[in-house]
Chains A and B, each alone.
Chain A
Amino acid sequence: MSLTAISKRKNTKARIISGFMYSLCVIFTGFILSLLLWVVGYLIKIGWQSVTVAFFTQVQIPYGAEGYPGGMLNGLLGTLVLVGMAAVVGIPIGMLAGIFLSEYGANSKLSSPVRFVADVLAGVPSIVVGILGYELLVVPIGNYNGWAGALTLAFIMVPIVARTTEEMLRLVPHSYREASIALGATKARTILRVVVPSAAGSLITGVMLALARVAGETAPLLFTALGSRLLTVNPNQPFPSLTKQIYDYATGPYEAQKRMAWAGILVLISLIFVFNLSVRLIARSKHGTA
């Protein structure tokens, strides 16, 4: 009793500092959350007021033409196709690299440089990747085109998919692999029939996050796919995308187009919210059963 009394008296200053820092942490967190909720709340509110049926069903109609401002169907379809094309190229390469890192990495000199480069590559600014696409696929071809946009997005996907695949496969218990080998399965069969399928759920969520990430990218498309106001799926020509269309509308002069841009932001954010939420839920159900 007396000891605590003494230590309490001695530490008054420390306790005041501690109380101050404690409340500072609470205030900072509250400040961050209210700031970010302000941003997101505003985006959702204005987006919700601006979204119309025409947004999803009509293509862009220029100012002055009948039916202006139309909708963003061209951008929506464009992003869907671009991300689909990027996925076809980026996901297999990323997954193969991820399988290499997790299953072959232990006895290969290649693994630590590949892991390192994949990590660093994931942090490269997307505009720089866009410039690579411009130099390799736009300048030689001579015009902006959908291939350049899709491959640039694929470039961004590969390191993300590779690292998540590696992490997810590492979570598969080692005993699965040993059991499979003990039953006489080859290494390839073990990987393709045992390891990958048992991590399938988390692999899919990892891929979904990568897709959501590139669907929201604007910078790498500025000088690769360029954007288009036509409803087109011809990758030899400038290619529409939701994000580029939002950017053009937001920085352009017309009010009705700005409202379309807000609606586009709402669609993007909802997409990302759903993806993130499902990843959370799948991760939690995994923890529950394990």
Chain B
Amino acid sequence: MGSDAVLGFFVRFGAVTVLVMMASLVFVLFRGSLDSMKTFGPKFLVSSTWRPNDLEVTKRTSDGKIVRDADGDPVMETIPAKFGALPAIYGTAVSSIVALTLAVPLSLGAALFLIRIAPRLRPRLPNGWRVPIDMWISFLIEFLAAIPSIAYGMWGLFVLVPYMQSHLEPGLNWIFGHVPGLGFMHADALTGRDMLTGSLVLAIMIVPIITAVSRDVLRAVPQAQIEGSLALGATWWQSCFEMLRYSRSGLFGAVMLGLARAAGETMAISMVIGNIPNIKATPFAAAQTMSSLLANEVSEASTKLHTSSLLQVALILLLMSLAFNIVARKLIVGKGGGVRG
């Protein structure tokens, strides 16, 4: 009986620790961002000024004239530091949405391939063994989902950025400059480190996870559902469409997981996005996401208000990812996949 009580105590301790971890995460970030919340209020979310230091400027009258004191020297005034998270929120939203738009069709196509096509592609070797191509591809995709973000970041910085700058972006920019109606996306200078490159790296990174989870979701479709539709004369695609429709909530969950990952992704995107708080229509302008802002500034924050504002950005990021993950979890009802990484 004694050992039962001891183990019972310890496992409950482990379980409660998980709850405490979550609570402390929310509590610490909330407490830390109180300063910023008090100073800026809801304006924090819609202001696009991010100026960590006080600014000394010459005082001007309302009509723009410089105010001078008795000696004729300009009077200086201090504009206090100001923080607004809009560019970072905008950057996270746009880069994640562009990445999803690119990644979701590709991932769903690959998931369908893995479930409906690949299992039949098992060529027989001369000695009678079958080559399980679908298992190899599955393994590869899972491996790619496990590669650390810093590796994708290095590839992005040293391969994709130069390629974008010298090949893809000049072409796109020419199109934007010459096709009427697209002019607003035209940029004067191309650096390769911009919103478009950031979104592409994100897309490459979330393809494996969306593919893997959708594959597990599609695998859970009852075989009878597929056979039934085929027996009724459906074509291959019609039965696939039936599968997609049948498991639509699970697939949406897979997409939400991809979105959560894209929104929280830090290292890779901060290496390629340029890290300037811009809100611009052209995809060729450097931008910033909430995570890249945090990665760049937390260790350099010198004032309390700066740290507090960064903590509020972290809190927003946390709440966003909690929302995405909760929705994803509610939708992926079947077994398998689950919330991994």
A residues bordering B, Cβ < 8 Å?
7, 11, 14-15, 17-22, 24-29, 31-33, 35-36, 39-40, 42-43, 92-101, 103-104, 110-111, 113-114, 116-129, 131-132, 134-136, 144, 155, 158-160, 162-163, 167, 186-189, 191-192, 209, 212-213, 216-219, 222-223, 226, 243, 246-247, 250-251, 258, 261-262, 265, 268-269, 272-273, 275-277, 280
Contact = CB atoms under 8 A, between A and B. Distances in A.
A251 B157 CA distance: 9
Contacts of B329: 116, 119-120
A119 B339 contact: yes
A218 B29 contact: no
B195 interface: no
Contact of B321 (A32, A124, A135, A247): A124
A159 B142 contact: no
Given A36-B144, A100-B11, A24 B109 contact: yes
A273 B207 CA distance: 18
A223 B295 CA distance: 8
B295 A219 contact: yes
B116 to A, nearest CB: 8
Nearest to A14: B235
Interface stretch (B40-48, B147-155, B166-174, B276-284): B147-155
B322 interface: yes
Contacts of A144: 299
Nearest to B7: A188
A114 B112 CA distance: 34
A167 B141 CA distance: 22
B321 A265 contact: no
A123 B154 contact: no
Interface in B1-60: 1, 3-4, 6-8, 10-19, 21-22, 24-25, 28-29, 32
A186 B4 contact: yes
A25 B112 contact: yes
A280 B106 CA distance: 25
Given A25-B117, A268-B148, A32 B17 contact: no
Given A25-B109, A119-B329, A127-B264, A39 B152 contact: yes
Given A158-B21, A243-B148, A219 B237 contact: no
Contact of A119 (B140, B150, B318, B338): B338
Contacts of B107: 32
Contact of A22 (B7, B237, B340): B237
Interface residues of B, number: 93
Contacts of A268: 148, 150-151
23 contacts: A14-B238, A29-B137, A36-B140, A42-B159, A92-B14, A96-B11, A96-B17, A117-B18, A120-B329, A123-B325, A123-B339, A123-B341, A135-B29, A162-B18, A167-B338, A213-B341, A216-B149, A219-B267, A222-B295, A222-B298, A250-B158, A272-B143, A276-B142
B266 interface: yes
Contact of B235 (A17, A128, A188): A17
Listed residue (B6, B109, B322) with the most chain A CB atoms within 10 angstroms of its CB = B109
Contacts of B207: 32, 36
A117 to B, nearest CB: 5
B150 A218 contact: yes
B109 A273 contact: no
B144 A26 contact: no
A21 B240 contact: yes
A98 B298 CA distance: 34
B291 interface: yes
A272 B322 contact: no
Given A99-B11, A158-B21, A162-B14, A125 B146 contact: no
A194 to B, nearest CB: 13
Query: Which 5 interchain pairs have the tightest Cβ spacing?
Result: A125-B264, A96-B14, A216-B148, A28-B109, A18-B235
Interface string B201-232: 00010011001000000000000000000000
B257 interface: yes
A104 B17 contact: no
Contacts of B287: none
Contacts of A14: 235, 237-238
B29 A212 contact: no
Interface string B308-341: 0011001001100110111011000000001111
A166 B114 CA distance: 28
A146 to B, nearest CB: 16
A106 B154 CA distance: 46
A159 B260 CA distance: 17
Contacts of A25: 109-110, 112-113, 116-117
A40 B7 CA distance: 45
B294 interface: yes
B236 interface: yes
Given A120-B22, A122-B340, A261-B154, A188 B4 contact: yes
A124 B25 contact: yes
Contacts of A100: 11-12, 14-15
A123 B149 contact: no
B144 to A, nearest CB: 5
Contact of B157 (A29, A114, A158, A250): A250
Given A135-B28, A219-B291, A222-B295, A273 B143 contact: yes
Listed residue (B1, B154, B238, B341) with the most chain A CB atoms within 10 angstroms of its CB = B154
Given A11-B233, A11-B235, A125-B264, A36 B208 contact: yes
Contacts of B157: 250-251
B237 A18 contact: yes
